[in-house]
């Protein structure tokens, strides 16, 4: 970020591009670093010293002073880590004796819970917490959430989504409960037990790099859900939303557009069933539907019409 701030040479720009291409997670990491960097600049513009008692630096040391101040923001307890793409907002820890936590459309919130656990809420998501001396209970009302659970054998951590219950002691996993879609659970760390009401005690045991899909109406006597292994790179794509990014690997354009709509901004409309069924791959900022549409137009030989409101993707008429 120090080099980006002062401007890159052609060689350095090539190095950055090569670094970004090496791992899909790096764009999200860079976006968070940029946000912290800009947060330091905003604080400086208000004339507030980030380190008490510092004297005004000599001109030749001005840039280094700004870097030092930015380091203070990175390490300070009051730092706000905000993604440039979406707005990943960390909020102070509160007691969880019963509260409702929400995220707005286009917002991702990372929230400490009263037991030391963390929850990251995807856009337009709602959870309700109720912690006691014997259990830590969360209800995912709607949307998607990623939980990083502090180990506490005396108080299991329970997440309810519709008729599904996810039970853990200490682990990291995500739960999705979107309207019109089945419940989905993905485990990145630890061990998770998934059950549902009226299932005769059936339980799915998930370990890292596993996903369970639980349809709303499972046939009588059938398994309560479908369990599959997830490759490490596929796991990173599935959780890229935490960094304000959307990752696609063969999904149809129609499905990709539907995911973008959850994050607000101008709506993308696809003209033509053939175009809508084209597969899409790539990593995109969830808050940049225009950039996504332009990239799709280039890769699929399509045309973009943007009137400032809706964005329309059409099959190109050129032969």
Answer yes or no: do 117 and 232 share one domain. yes
Q: Does pLDDT of 152 surpass 80?
A: yes
The Cα 138–Cα 184 span in angstroms is 16
Q: What is the full DSSP assignment across 55-71?
A: PPPPGGGHHHHHHHHHH
The Cα 81–Cα 135 span in angstroms is 30
The Cα 77–Cα 121 span in angstroms is 21
Are the C-beta atoms of 54 and 72 separated by less than 8 Å?
Answer: no
Of 216, 236, 256, the one marking the end of a domain is: 236
Of 19, 44, 75, the one marking the end of a domain is: 75
Give, for 110, the enclosing helix (H) or strand (E).
strand 108-112
Q: How many distinct structural domains can be found in the chain?
A: 3
Q: Does pLDDT of 195 surpass 50?
A: yes
The Cα 31–Cα 21 span in angstroms is 15
Please, how many CA atoms are within 13 Å of residue 223, restricted to the half-sphere of its CB? Answer: 10
Tell me: the pLDDT tens digits for 31-87? Answer: 767 766 655 554 444 444 333 333 344 333 333 333 334 433 343 333 333 343 455
Kindly state the average pLDDT of the residues 222-236. 92
User: Which range (37-41, 171-175, 211-215, 222-226) has the least confidence?
Assistant: 37-41
Q: For the domain that residue 179 is a member of, what is the CATH number?
A: 2.60.120.1440
Answer yes or no: do 248 and 228 share one domain. no
| 305 belongs to a structural domain | yes
Phi-psi region of 292 (alpha: psi -120 to 50; beta: other; left: phi over 0): alpha
- pLDDT above 90 covers what percent of the chain? 56
The Cα 253–Cα 137 span in angstroms is 37
Kindly state the average pLDDT of the residues 236-253. 94
Task: Identify which has the larger pLDDT, 60 or 7.
Answer: 7
Q: Does pLDDT of 293 surpass 60?
A: yes
pTM for the model stands at 0.70
At 183, list the tokens: 């419940």
Of 236, 269, 302, the one marking the end of a domain is: 236
What pLDDT does residue 243 have? 93
What pLDDT does residue 30 have? 79
Q: For the domain that residue 278 is a member of, what is the CATH number?
A: 3.55.50.30
The Cα 289–Cα 261 span in angstroms is 9
| 224 belongs to a structural domain | yes
Answer yes or no: do 224 and 263 share one domain. no
Counting other chains too, the contacts that 169-175 makes at CB distance below 8 Å and 24 or more residues apart are 172/146, 172/147, 172/148, 173/146, 173/147, 173/206, 174/144, 174/145, 174/146, 174/147, 174/238, 174/239, 175/140, 175/144, 175/145, 175/147
- Domain ranges, residue 259: 244-315
């Amino acid at each position: 970020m120090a080099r980006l701030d002062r401007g890159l040479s052609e060689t350095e720009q090539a190095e950055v591009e090569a670094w970004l291409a090496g791992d899909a997670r790096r764009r999200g990491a860079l976006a968070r670093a940029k946000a912290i960097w800009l947060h330091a600049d905003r604080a400086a513009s208000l004339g507030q010293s980030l380190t008490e008692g510092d004297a005004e630096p000599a001109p030749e040391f001005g840039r280094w002073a700004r870097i030092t101040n930015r380091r203070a923001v990175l390490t300070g307890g009051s730092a706000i880590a905000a993604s440039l793409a979406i707005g990943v907002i960390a909020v102070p820890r509160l007691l969880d004796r019963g509260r409702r936590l929400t995220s707005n459309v286009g917002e991702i919130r990372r929230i400490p819970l009263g037991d030391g656990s963390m929850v990251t809420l995807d856009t337009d998501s709602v959870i309700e917490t109720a912690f006691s001396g014997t259990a830590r209970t969360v209800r995912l009302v709607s949307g998607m959430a990623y939980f990083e659970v502090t180990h506490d054998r005396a108080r299991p951590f329970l997440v309810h989504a519709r008729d599904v219950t996810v039970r853990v002691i200490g682990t990291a996993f995500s739960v999705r409960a979107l309207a019109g879609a089945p419940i989905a659970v993905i485990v990145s760390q630890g061990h998770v037990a998934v059950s549902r009401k009226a299932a005769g005690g059936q339980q799915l045991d998930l370990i890292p790099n596993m996903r369970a899909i639980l349809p709303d109406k499972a046939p009588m006597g059938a398994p309560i859900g479908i369990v599959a292994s997830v490759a490490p790179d596929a796991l990173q794509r599935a959780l890229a939303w935490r960094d304000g990014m959307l990752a696609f690997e063969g999904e149809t354009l129609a499905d990709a557009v539907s995911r973008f709509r959850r994050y607000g901004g101008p709506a993308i409309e696809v003209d033509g069933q053939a175009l809508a069924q084209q597969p899409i791959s790539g990593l995109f900022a969830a808050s940049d539907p225009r950039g996504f549409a332009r990239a799709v137009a280039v890769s699929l030989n399509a045309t973009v019409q943007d009137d400032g409101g809706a964005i329309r993707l059409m099959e190109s008429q050129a032969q």
